Structure formats: structure tokens, C-alpha cells
Amino acid sequence: MITRRAAARLFAGSALAGAIGANGGAAFAADKVVKVGINLSFTGADAEDADRMKDGAVMAFEAANQANAVPGYKFDLVSFDDGTATAGQYDPAQAATNARKMVSDRGFVAAIGPQMSGAGKAMAPILSQGDLAIITPSSTNPDITNPKFAEQYDPSGKPIYFRTVTTDAYQGPNMANFMAEKLDVKTIYILDDSGAYGVGLADAFEAQAKKKGMQVAGRDRLDPKAADYTAVLTKIKSLNLQAIYYGGVAQAGVKLAKQAYDIVPKMIKAGGDGVYGASFLSGGGFPAVEGWYATVASPHLTGGDQRAEQFVEAFRGRFGMAPVDYSITSYDAALVIIDAVKRVAASGKPMNRDNVRNAIQTAKVPTIQGTVSFDKYGDLADRTVSVFQIKKDPKAPLDDATKQYAYVGVAPQS
């Protein structure tokens, strides 16, 4: 019930907001603000890619606000950082805290993120109970959207964890297919970085590698905070294998790349999307990272594609640096949210979390990577995994992922 005094205050408040808006020049006095949270790992080993991913979303929302894409509504993107100094990378406890903050503020109708699956596992149950839909541009661990674990990650029963990338249930196995079929790898050693993403990816890879008849000579776990991996690499060297597959993110990845370059320079080295990006390039450095294979859990748009080209140019112009592929999935996630808010507004239903979530579930949004739609669990309908190999382009900045990762092709689906 709204008392008269409260109503008066409300009115005065919106008049004030209107006045400020008028001074700003763009907003209508009656524009309602739709808050969208964005939770990435801005502190720690993956920070460089986090910035580039956020910038992708910023571009989409800025354009929407400028073009008045949803009449009567303005988007307000609010950042949350789940990285902590003590963890040196994402910290699940911080991610949970951020999820609680978003859930407790009814102004948030949707969110983007997280960057990391370990953070996603901590956030999903909280968001599920708060009925707040989140679209991740890069977290690929399949458990979060797997109906088998719904009790754990989706206790409310309605999917809230959507993705504009596919999962490691495809990323790992498809890369195993690629290595077996295209690179003719028969013997391999598998490493992970002890994180939720890394272990899951390495497990999925290992299962398919064995199915493909590869001999998995060993599996070991790296401590991402330790500095020395020479001992395990010496062991791998003594086994005379063709390849190493690494499931994990940049923190352990850059050290692994450097030491592997010294100890086993000739082996084929491959990883998932954890070794794709500016953080891996700048931390690992050339020549150590040269020749590494990486995958990205979304289709890659090759040179001919107009929209992708335009996006890369606009991104460079706006932020003065090159985007990564997950800047695009992040931009796409923002487009999905903008589209959902637009449809809720057009339908005349109240602008709340539940309606926005339902709109996201039924989305069919043309984005840079193609039309985005989700299956009933929230996973991306398109299951393309793209393979890249690092090939030094001395003319481009050495941490420019769009130039230093050469696109190899699509990893075969099994």
C-alpha cells in the first residue's frame, strides 16, 4: 500500500531524476532504469580477458541506450568482481557474495557472467532461488546446466543459467576428436589445474580420447599457485609421448607453457578456452606459447563476415585494444538481454525477473555468432567448437588474440 506521503516522495524523486536526465540531455523523464549485473574476474590472472569481455557488453548496452532500443527503459550495467587478491584468480566465495548482492536488489532483472565455471557453481543456486537469469559468455562446465545436478545448481527448477557458448561436454570431446583425427595423436598426457573448469574439461577430454583409441599415459593435477612444474614435465618427457592436453586457466597455464617450451619443445600442446586469450599470450610470452592449440566454445567468424569485422573495428575504436572471441559472446549475451527486456516491455507484462527469464528462455536473437537460442536447460542450441593455433604475427601487438591465434577450423562433433 502506498501512502500519500510516500507517493508524493516517489513523485518528487522521479521529477528529480527527470531533471537530472534532462540535464544529461538524452533520457526521457519517465525512463525506468533496468539494472543488469555483470560478474567477471577483474582481479587476478584472467583480468585482461575480463576487461575485454565487459567491454563487449558495454558496447551493446551503450548502443541500446543511445538508439532507445526499448522505449521507456534505460539499461544500467553494474560490475561485480569475483576475483580476489588472495586467490589470485576467481574466488567462489566472492562470486556467491556478488550473487547475493544482485538477488537482494529487485532492480536487477538479469545478469551477465560469470567468466569462470568455478564461480558459476557458487552463484547458480543463489540466483536460482532469487529467480534471476544470468547469461554466461564463457563458463563452460556442463554440470551447472545438467539436469542431473539440478537439485544442487537449480533448486527452484526453472533454468536461470544460460550460455552464449557451448559446454565442455562438447569442448573437451570435440578437441579429442580433432587431435585424434586431424593431428593423428596416439599417445597423450593430460594435466589439469585443480579448478572446477579445468578438471571437468580434462575429464571430458580424457573419456573421449580413450574412446578414440588414444593411449592416455597419465593424468596429473597442477597446483595453480606453485611455480615449478619441471618435475612433472620431466616425467612426461621420459615417457616419449606425442602430445599434452591441459584443462585449466591462465594462472597455471602460462607457467606450464614456459616450462614445457624448455623441457618438451617438440610435443603438441593443446588446451581449451582457458589458454585462449590475452592473459595467456602476455603472461606466457613468445616463443613459449608458439604452436599451442586452443579451443573456443562458440563459432568463429572468419574474415569474410561483415558483422564480426565491424564489431572488431568498433571495439578497437572505442577501447583502444583488440577484443577476444569472448568479447563477442559477451556482446551477444547483452543482445539477448536487451531483446528479452524489449519483448517484456512490448507485451505489457510487468518488468520483473520472472518475465525477463521467460523471455530469455524463448529467445531467438540474431547476434554476431548467428541466431542464439537455448535448449530447455539453458544451454546454447549451437554446439560449435572452434580450434585455434598460436602463430606469432610480429606485426601485431603480441597480446592481440585476434591476430596471434590463427583459426584452424571447427573441431569434429562425435
Partner 1 sequence: MTFTDLLLQQTINGLSLGAMYALLALGFTLVYGILELINFAHFNVFMVGSFIAMAVLQGFGLSGQDMILTGLPLVGVLAVAFVVTMFGCGVLGVVIERLSLRPLRNVKGPAAMITTIGVSYILFNIILLGYGADAKNYPNPMPTVRWHIGGAVLDMRVVLIWGVSLVLMLGLYYFVQRSRVGKAMRATAQDPEAARMMGVEVDRIIVMAFFLGSALAGAAGLIFGLYYNFTSFLIGFTAGLRAFTAAVLGGIGNVPGAMLGGIIIGLVEAMASQFIATAWADVIIFSILVLVLVFRPAGLLGRVAPSKS
- Show contacts with partner 1 in window 182-201 (CB under 8 A): 194
Cα 185 from Cα 182, distance rounded (Å): 8
Is 231 among the residues that bind partner 1 (CB under 8 A)?
yes
Least Cβ distance, residue 220 to partner 1 (angstroms): 5
User: Does 229 participate in binding partner 1 (rule CB under 8 A)?
Assistant: yes
Per-residue cell: 361: 528462455
Give the residue carrying C-alpha cell 585494444. Answer: 321
Q: Which residues pair with 270 in a beta bridge?
A: 245, 293
Residue window 87-116: x/- pattern of binding to partner 1, with contact defined by CB under 8 A: -x----------------------------
- Of 370, 288, 285, the residue nearest 332 (C-alpha): 370
Query: Could you please report the per-residue DSSP string of 38-69?
Result: EEE--SSTTHHHHHHHHHHHHHHHHHHHHTTS
d(CA 197, CA 300): 21
Spatial distance between the Cα atoms of 80 and 176, rounded to a whole number of angstroms: 35
- Min CB(146)–partner 1 separation in Å: 25
Pick the closer one to partner 1 by CB: 105 or 223: 223
Does 234 engage in binding with partner 1 (CB under 8 A)?
yes
Residue length of the chain: 414
Where residue 124 falls (left for φ over 0; alpha for ψ -120 to 50; beta otherwise) is alpha
Binding residue for partner 1, selected from 1, 4, 85, 148, defined by CB under 8 A:
85
d(CA 162, CA 148): 16
Q: Based on CB atoms, which residue is closest to partner 1, 145 or 251?
A: 251
Rounded to whole angstroms, how far apart are CA atoms 371 and 28?
32
**43 scored as a contact of partner 1 (CB under 8 A):** yes
Binding mask 243-262 for partner 1 (x = CB under 8 A): -------xx--xx--xx--x
What does the angle CA 98 – CA 103 – CA 107 come to, to the nearest 5 degrees? 110
Binding segment for partner 1 (CB under 8 A), chosen from 8-16, 283-291, 294-302, 332-340, is 283-291
Instruction: Tell me the closest approach of the beta carbon of residue 1 to partner 1, in angstroms.
Output: 49
Task: Out of 37, 44, 198, 323, point to the residue binding partner 1 (CB under 8 A).
Answer: 44
- Answer for which of 13, 107, 147, 287 binds partner 1 (CB under 8 A) is 287
Give residues in contact with partner 1 (CB under 8 A).
43-45, 47-48, 83, 85, 88, 194, 220-223, 225-232, 234-235, 237-238, 240, 250-251, 254-255, 258-259, 262-263, 279, 282-288
